Structure 1
């Protein structure tokens, strides 16, 4: 819901700090977190029985689909929000990074096991 709300009408003082591509960085970090926490959540719900590979595919699919859906909704139902292909790209790259992080955490080099 917050993805469809405009904060530009609020009088927020951002000061003199100007970070280039800050919104793309935010999208990337949000979807990295989305994918990472989504995998852990699905692991907990299935007690690890779903399998790492299948979980990664499901979470990646839904993260990318959700990112595209939000951009489409911003384009169609809001008047003060803009849909951008750059946001979709940042979302997708962030989701892949989250999946990569999960794969690293549960790799053979690390002591964490996927299945309980």
Structure 2
């Protein structure tokens, strides 16, 4: 919902802080967290019935499709938001980074266990 909301009517003072590509960094971090949390949520809700690779594929497809749909909606139903290919790219890279983080955190050295 916030991805479609316009902040142009609100005054947001960022001060003297000027970060190049801050919006792309935000997209990247959001989708990293989205895919990491999505993976853990799916594994938890299914009690680990889906294998790690199947869950990774589901989360990647969901994150990428969701990011594309949001950009299309920004283009079609909003008047002051812009759809950008760079945002889709940042979303996709963030999703892959989140999955990379999952693979690193739950490597063979620290396997992901769902049954105690």
Report the TM-score range of the alignment, normalised by the length of the smaller protein: over 0.9
Report what 1:113 is aligned to.
112
Give structure 2 stretches of 5+ with no counterpart. none
Aligned residues: CA RMSD: 0.9
Aligned length, in residue pairs: 115
Does residue 1:83 correspond to 2:83, yes or no? yes
- After TM superposition, the score normalised by the length of structure 2 is 0.96
Does residue 1:71 correspond to 2:71, yes or no? yes
- After TM superposition, the score normalised by the length of structure 1 is 0.96
Moved more, 8-17 or 88-97: 8-17
**Structure 2 matches for 1:7-86, cutoff 5 A?**
7-86=7-86
Write the deviation string for residues 69-94 of structure 1: whole angstroms up to 9, x where unpaired: 00000000000000000000000000
Give structure 1 stretches of 5+ with no counterpart. none
Conserved? CA contact 1:106–1:113, under 8 Å: yes
The CA deviation at 1:115 is: 3.7
Runs ≥4 residues deviating over 4 A = none
Q: Aligned pair in 2 of structure 1 residues 55, 114: CA closer, same or farther (>3 Å)?
A: farther
